[in-house]
Structure formats: C-alpha cells, structure tokens
Structure 1
C-alpha cells in the first residue's frame, strides 16, 4: 500500500553530486572558480599559524550565495550545513559565519579586483565577451550612514572666512594695545599675519606660541591673557576643524560625518517626495551580452563626469577599450565625446535634447539653434526670419576636470522690428548666442548614428 520508508537505512550513492542536475547553476560557479589561477589568492595568505580553509572553496560558496540572494554570513553558514549545493561546494566542510565574514571583508577585499579580471578573461576566452558593444549606465546607492549628519563645503568655507575675520580683528586689537603701551618688543609678524589674505591653523599656532611667551613675561596683561585663552580654546580648534572638513570634501560639495566617503545626492527612491538629498555613491556598470564587464564607484552625483574615469578603469583592468560605447543622455557631454573620439571608440551616446528635437514644438520654435542655418563661408548664423548673427568674440572656459570649452559668441545687428522676437528671446536688446562648434559637430555625428538602423537596434538592446 505504501512505498517502503525508513530512516535507519544507509542509501547509496553517498556522493552529493549525484543529487545536483547537470545544468544547475552551482556547477557553473564551481567550474569558473576552479579555472582561476591559485596565485591570485596567494597574496592574501602570508602563511603561518593553523591551516586555513581553501580560498577557492570560500569563494565558491560566497559567489553562489550571492546568486541566490543570500548575503548574510550567518545565512551562508546555515546553508553550508543544510543545503545540498552549498554542502557539495564546501566538500562537507563547515566554516562558521565569522570565517566567512572575515574572508570576504578582509582577505577577499584585496583579491576582488584580480578575481573579477580573471573571470572576465575566462568569459573572453569562451567568446561570451568581445568588447564590441559596451552598454553603460549608472545608479545611485544610498550609503549606510546617517542622513542628517552632513557637512556642506560652502558652509565650511563661509564659516572659515568669518572666523578668519574674527582672528584678524583680535590680532589688530593686540597690536594697537602694544603700540599704546609702547612695549619694547613689538611683534611685526603679528601685524603681517593680521593683514594676510588667508589665515591657516598652522600660522595661528605659531602666533599663539609667541603670544604665550609674551604672556609669561607679562602675566598681568589681562587683554593678552584673554586673547591667548580665546585663541587656544576657541579659534584655533575651530580653524583646525574647518580645514579638516575642507580637506575631506576635496572637490565635492558635501560629505556625511558617519561615512566621509559618501556624498549627498538625489536618489531615485524619494519616499518623502521632497527631493531630499541623501548620502550615497554613484555606481557605474557596463555590460555586454548581459555580463557585467566593468564597474566603478564614484562620489560625483552626475553621470557625465563618471564616464571617463569608468572607461579608464576598464582599460587598466582589461588592457583595451570597447569598440562602441552605448549610453543615454546623461553621458552626452562635449568632454566625453572628445575622449571617445581620441580613443577611437564609436560613440552611440545620446545628448540631453536628442528626443526633444523630434517634437513639433521644438521644430517650430524660432529660438532654437537647431532650426537656424549656419553660413560657414561668412561665419554667421541666419535665424528663422532671415536675420544674420555675426561673430563677435571667442571665450574660453575650463571645467573642473581641466577640459577647455571654446565658445564662439554671435550677435544680431538688429532685432527691433522682428515679428518672431517674442518667441525667440526674452532679452530687451538684440539676440546673442554662445556656441561650441566642437560640441555641435559631436551632436551631429551622434544624431546621425543614433537614427541609423544599427543605432536604433543598439539603443533598444541597451534597455535590456
């Protein structure tokens, strides 16, 4: 009536691999890690002490756990004791959660980059990755930090300037008192420091030592005693704190006190619906055939300035750049186009107005430069009403990265009686435009490629 059932019988085969299907994902993880050179892990194990668990075994169970969306070291250790694929990968060994956590947070951290590169080399050898088409995008990930312990660079600079002004007033007061009392040892350095454009904590510390020496000679000088106490207890510590905060910020506008590497930026998930800034990181990832080929973490909130550092890191890792880079409008800056052209990479990168240019309102707008005509021979622009804008001057500006943008300024001779002026410009005088001819050329090239059959196909593939 029933199939025979007993828990006291020993059954064969005893090999756990027999219970794992041939096309199971765990076999892929096992095969990939087995093909990695053991020398990659040697740097993380200097030797000495008791024998360690094999790093390949720990790497296998961690990678497989991530594919199963298991991230807790305690849950991974539990799976190694209870789940057949994990037990098979571990060879029935049972590392505890501390060992797993220590391996991935300390030892694996040093070899993670080499391990990722080795996996990419295996994908390249198998023909899965050829770096023909590189699809790149970014996302912002909130840091594990307090949302309200922030430091803003502009505020630090403002407070620092106010403090410097207070210190100058204090030094000038001391100098005036010394002159009134006709002291024999007038301090010329103090006067120079009070007049200097920028006061540093180091200069304040040197002056404080001189004032303390002077106070030892005149212990009853109450104004001097008050100034020394004010400098030592208030002004100098504050200046040192502002300088540390300014150094931590670097080129950034902000950072979190509980995670100084995190920058405050707007996240896609805004549960308060008020555009609240949160501490986070901008993570860039590039794929080909849905394999992650490159990744990088940035402190900049905008994708535009992350593309070049991301591609340089990819080149260091793989020794080459992809033939074609496919990206959305967040990356369509002049500097990025110039870099891709210099490195002989085809740029299928949208710019910020690419989709709006196809709308009817854009095509009928008399103020849009794309609806005008450029007379290359006379170097002038002709608007929708036939008015000519002649070249006036050229201006140059430098981005934070050091890239120089050349803007050519054109101005109309007369716009007073133009019937299209109200829709063309809000300026009271004649219309003036600033144009980067280099950027216009890059946008024209990108427009032509993106509207081709191959460009549409790759843009659609990028979404996937």
Structure 2
C-alpha cells in the first residue's frame, strides 16, 4: 500500500511507471503554418549589433543568448504575455517557447526583467523595430506612400493621487518668498546685519545666510537642542527655518524642471502627465497619469511609434514624422490625420517636405450644419474681396485690415494674424447676432492658415481623399482597438518615458508579426487600402 505522506520534492522519485509520451524533437509538434515559425524567420534576418554592444565585453556570459532572449520576449508580447513571471512560466511549459529557446535553459523572471530593463533599451528596441519596418518594405508589404496617424492615451504605472500641478507650485512659491524676506529682515534687525535676498539669486542668497549661521553657531559654541522642555536659541530657530525654506525651494525647482511643456506630473512616474481618459469605466472623466501614444500605420502595419507627454496631438505630428524619416531614410508621400493635428505649423512643415496633407479641418463637421451656414458672425459666411482684402458682413458693411498681431504657440512657432474691423456697426439691426463687442466688430484672421486649410480640405473632398480618410478610421484606429482590447494592453508595466517606449515598441513588433501572418494565411499580401463601398 502506498504511503499517504509525501516527502519528495522531486516527483520522479515516486517510482511510478513512465513512458515516453512527448517526442524528443519538438519540431513535429509545431504546425507548419504556426506564427512562431514566421516570427523566428523575421527575427533571424535582423542585425543585433546594438543589442550585443549593450553587454560588457568582459564578465560572465549571459545564460541565454541575447538574440534568443530577444526572440522570446518579442514573441511573448505577440501572445499577450507581458509579465516577466508569466514569460518564465511560458518558457517552461509552452512548446513554442521551448522551440524558440533551441535547447537552451529557460530563463527565470529575474533574467527576463534584467534583459528588458538594462539591455533592451529604447535605443536598441528602436533599432530592432525600424529594421522590421524596413523588412516589410523589402517584401513589398508597405510602399512609404500613405501614412495614417493617430494617438491614444494609455495609463502610466503610477499612483493616481500623486499629482503635482504647475499652478500650485507657482502659488506656493509666491507665498514662500515674503516669508523668507521676513526671516532675513528679522536676522538683520537682531544681529545688525545687511543680508539681502532677490528672486533671481534666491538659492545663493540663502546659502550665504546659512553659512553665516553655521559660523555663528561654532563661534558662540551653541548646541542645538530638541524635545519637549528645551529652549532653542535664536541661531537654531533661524537655521531650522532657513533649512526648511531651502528644501522647499529645491522641491519647487525640481517641479518646475519637470513641468516644461506641460502643467502636471506624477510623483510616482515624473514623466507621466495627468490626462482625461476616454475609457474611464466610471464615465466621470477622472484625471489619471498617462502617456500620449502616437502611431503611424501603413497597410495595417505599425510603421512608427512615438511617446509624448502632451495632452493633445497638435505638437506631436512634426517630431513623429522627423523621427520616422530619420530611422527609415524615407518620407511618406501622403499624411492622413484627423482634426486634432490641424495647425498652421503642421501644414507648412508638410508643404516644405513635399508631403500632401489629408487633415480634416477642426470645423469640418460644423460646416455641414444648417445652423452654421445661417450664423452671420462666422467668417466663412462673409464674402471676401481679394483685391481690396476686405470682408463684407451681413449688413453690407466692409471689414478692412487694421493691423497685424503675432501669436506664439506652445512649440515656439510664431504666426501672423491680420485684424479686421468693420467700418461701422452703429445702428446695425444684426449687431447682436454678429458680435458682443460694444464698438465695431473685429475679426482676427491668419491668411496662411486659411490658405493651407483650404488645400487640405480640397484633398479630403475628392474621391481619393474620402478613401484615405475611410482607411485611416479602419487601419490606425483599428490597430489601437486591437492593441487595447484584443491584446488587453490598458496600462504600462514600466515607468519612465524611455522604458514605456521600449514596452510599446515590443507590443507593436509582435502586432506586426501577427498581422503579416494573418495576411499570408488569408491571401491578403500587398493589400494596401480598403475600397470605398459603393451605394447599391
């Protein structure tokens, strides 16, 4: 009779009768059309020079060859496996992972975590990802022709209630300055000194006073005391107050450096910005720490990735296109984006780089409404005379240019805006519907922006433009739908902008392999655009 007490950690010692169930060669267990074979083939053709340069030339040899480890990690992301512990489990139990390991020992979660953190840096992953994009071009799956761009917000791996706001820092800094002045005035009055502090040299001025207090402490042989019933000297009180102000000043300075180009950051992940999330299950538009993730898609493949801290998309287009042209060595012919990317700066950049814009105007949907067409206050509903450079309002009065103002955007771009003023609104029966101004109606117009917007509007109005706009909705928004819903990627696991970028590129790398596999199996290779559906 078998004992009920189990004392063995090695279960093969139970002396049960075993027979060979699995074949010694795992090759026969993997179907011929399995995506892991395609994944391995694509990975074999890449150059891993930058990856191997991340390793030290001397020291212990890694347990798993870096190229094989890269195969395993990228394949894991293609199978919706992101945790290092779950990847470790898959390497031990999954036949496809065992096949990729090619007989080497399965790595543990610590080795996988170290690989992603220290060796598969954003620079290395950037190089591997864009090699894959160039491979897709070599097999004629992409043409560098139509680039569909869109963005989404993905929650950062940070506490939701660790926010720091720019306005709060400025407010507290303003409150602290009079308190420092009062402290310095007290020291000057008591010790007959002439210390002075200014906003521009505040840290240096406080250090000077702090240095004098330390010298006085030593000279007067003062011992600082703590606890109940102990009386502090004036030197100790001033030293403690000044130290507190210096620490607060350092904290505010750090916050200001983090606030460049944004209004908030998270203490847990300082690179993350607080943003409104569309997919909030409570539907209360709660602010959460997140990143603005931008992707460029062609032929249903992700061909460009950008991670930004901006809450809107306007300032992300130019950096995204510049990075892609630098990494790929090519520029796309057509750039298709929604109204969130419309700006004068973006239009001019595309024109200078000989790229055709297919950007929907921000007022595109409003233009279709009857209420907009009947609104006499809108510039679009006024007649324009190009020779006299004047608009004619609903009452037949002329709006002529009165001056020029310049506007500076968040990116530093300066646009020229012409100010038009009506010759006379006195006694006009339509004034209440036209303007709320007490005097004459004034209107600011950027001629360059209107000109470039009109070009883009004509582009999207023709049949080819309509087809490209339809494909933008299908391809780039569809890619985000798959990544966030099917792949269940709703929140980053890593912290910091660079590591977040590596993590998302791993996801997109796996997505592209799966997309190529699906196209091969469904006989859809070299299908770049979906056709418009004709009305029956």
The 3 A distance-change label for structure 1 pair 437 and 51 is closer
Displacement of 1:426 in angstroms is 2.1
Distance in structure 2 (CA, Å) of the matches to 1:453 and 1:215: 82
Displacement of 1:26 in angstroms is 1.0
Does residue 346 of structure 1 match 2:371? no
Q: Deviations over 1:387-445 (max 9, x none)?
A: 11111110112122110011110111212333322222222322110111111111111
Distance in structure 1 (CA, Å) of the matches to 2:466 and 2:345: 24
Displacement of 1:59 in angstroms is 1.8
The 3 A distance-change label for structure 1 pair 8 and 391 is same
Distance in structure 1 (CA, Å) of the matches to 2:389 and 2:237: 65
Q: Deviations over 1:184-239 (max 9, x none)?
A: xx53xx24x3xx3445223211222134445666789x996366335434222222
2:207 alignment counterpart: 205
TM-score (structure 2 length as normaliser): 0.78
CA RMSD, 1 decimal: 2.4
Q: Deviations over 1:436-463 (max 9, x none)?
A: 1111111111111111111100000001
Match of 1:107 among 119, 135, 139: 119
Displacement of 1:27 in angstroms is 1.4
Aligned residues: 446
Structure 2 spans left out of the alignment, 5+ residues: 1-16, 223-231, 475-536
Distance in structure 1 (CA, Å) of the matches to 2:62 and 2:283: 54
Is 1:328–1:350's contact at 8 Å kept on the other side of the alignment? yes
1:146 alignment counterpart: 159
1:143-222 to structure 2, matched below 5 A, reads: 143-177=156-190, 186-187=193-194, 190-191=195-196, 193=197, 196-213=198-215
Is 2:275–2:311's contact at 8 Å kept on the other side of the alignment? yes
Distance in structure 2 (CA, Å) of the matches to 1:226 and 1:56: 61
Q: Which has the higher contact order (CA 8 A, sep 6+)?
A: 2
Distance in structure 1 (CA, Å) of the matches to 2:438 and 2:308: 43
1:17-416 to structure 2, matched below 5 A, reads: 17-47=27-57, 48-93=59-104, 94-109=106-121, 110-177=123-190, 186-187=193-194, 190-191=195-196, 193=197, 196-213=198-215, 225=235, 228-416=238-426
Q: Which moved more, 1:97-106 or 1:403-412?
A: 97-106
Is 2:276–2:286's contact at 8 Å kept on the other side of the alignment? yes
TM-score (structure 1 length as normaliser): 0.90
Structure 1 spans left out of the alignment, 5+ residues: 1-5
The 3 A distance-change label for structure 1 pair 375 and 88 is same
Distance in structure 2 (CA, Å) of the matches to 1:378 and 1:413: 14
1:436 alignment counterpart: 446
2:498 alignment counterpart: none
The 3 A distance-change label for structure 1 pair 106 and 215 is closer
Distance in structure 2 (CA, Å) of the matches to 1:235 and 1:39: 50
Is 1:212–1:228's contact at 8 Å kept on the other side of the alignment? no
